[in-house]
Structure 1
Amino acid sequence: MSITVDDLRVFAPGIDEAKAQAMIEDALGTAALLAPCLFEDEFEHPAAAKAILRAAILRWDEAGTGAVTQMSAGPFQRTVDTSSPRRRLFWPSEIDDLTKMCRTSGSGAFTVDTVPTGPAIVHADICSLRFGAAYCSCGAALTRGGALWEQ
């Protein structure tokens, strides 16, 4: 997946090439941390990822173009700032969308059953458990089946 300066010029014809290239490198580097699968050869959604990255870069490009307007009437003044400071390159919704593209259908929580499903443990007639002990002396607890010793 790649983005070129020409991809941005469709929406921002006046963008400086050096600035655009630096912004593209920053966006691709950040995206690689968030969703490494974007750069794999078998990636399934390159157009969607490109749209998200392009929108973020264009938003970043437009962030500094706001105007500051000042009005005054006598002792009263009013200042209107329409610029938006850059905080993060990607919005949380864009981060979610990029990471969702890398998820596989098999990922998620699962359990492993550790309870034995084999036959019941059969202790020997002379096993200590049969005489009230808290331990097995015949070895059936080790084999999970029949007695190992004291047969």
Structure 2
Amino acid sequence: MAEPLIRPADLVPFVPDIDMGKAQEMCDDVLALAGLAAPCLDDENLDPKKAAAAKAILRGAVLRWNEAGEGARKQVTDRTGPFEHSETIDNSTPRRSTRLWPTEITDLQAICAGDGGGRKAWGYDTAGSGGIQHGDTCAINLGATFCDCGAIYTGAGGGPLWGTGE
């Protein structure tokens, strides 16, 4: 079994006194949610660069969850010129939501999409090439405003009056 993308030890540099039981539960939660949003993250052979990027996103989500309810009420005043804006930020009530933000989900899905595995956008030409097929040496192909290969006389798709030498 592959090592999980995020472990409680990955949180310690940011929150040295984190409860390891709580950290394990949050890591399990975020891995389950991420696996639903971006199934490739459960692949044991996930590219190391993609795994590192996913770990960064997941760690950010877990740290956000951990901060909910850790603070207290705080009055913030912002002054710009003659205008003053004041607001109270309340981080004292636990509001732990084990949800990934839409941007995090999009970023995780982009990791799974990666380089597209060789998949490219495609389409079908339903109108056909149409138009007049001029010879390689026609004056129009050289930037002139007139046709000197005779394609205008053969109709759409008829090609030049004279052969192309093939």
Are 2:5 and 2:54, in contact at CA under 8 Å, matched by a contact in 1? no
Counterpart check, 1:89 vs 2:99: yes
Give deviations 1:81-122, integer Å, cap 9, x for gaps.
4217344532111111100111124557655789xxxxxxxx
Q: CA RMSD for the aligned pairs? A: 2.9
For 2:46 and 2:74, locate their aligned partners in 1 and report how far apart those are by CA, in whole Å. Answer: 46
- The correspondence for 1:56, drawn from 21, 46, 61, is 61
TM-score (norm 1): 0.60
The structural deviation recorded for 1:4 is 1.5
1:2-151 matched pairs, under 5 angstroms: 2-44=5-47, 45-68=50-73, 80-83=88-91, 85-103=95-113, 104-107=116-119
For 2:51 and 2:24, locate their aligned partners in 1 and report how far apart those are by CA, in whole Å. Answer: 19
Structure 1 residues 88 and 3, CA, compared in 2 at 3 Å: closer, same or farther? closer
1:39 is aligned with what amino acid? D
Identical aligned residues as a percent: 46
- Secondary structure of residue in 1 paired with 2:45: coil
- Gap regions ≥5 residues in structure 1: 71-78, 115-151
Partner of 2:130: none
Most deviating of 8-17 and 82-91: 82-91
Runs of 4+ with >6 A deviation? none
Give deviations 1:48-105, integer Å, cap 9, x for gaps.
00010011001100111121369xxxxxxxx944217344532111111100111124
TM-score (norm 2): 0.55
For 2:12 and 2:90, locate their aligned partners in 1 and report how far apart those are by CA, in whole Å. Answer: 23
Q: How many residues align?
A: 108
For 1:4 and 1:10, locate their aligned partners in 2 and report how far apart those are by CA, in whole Å. Answer: 12
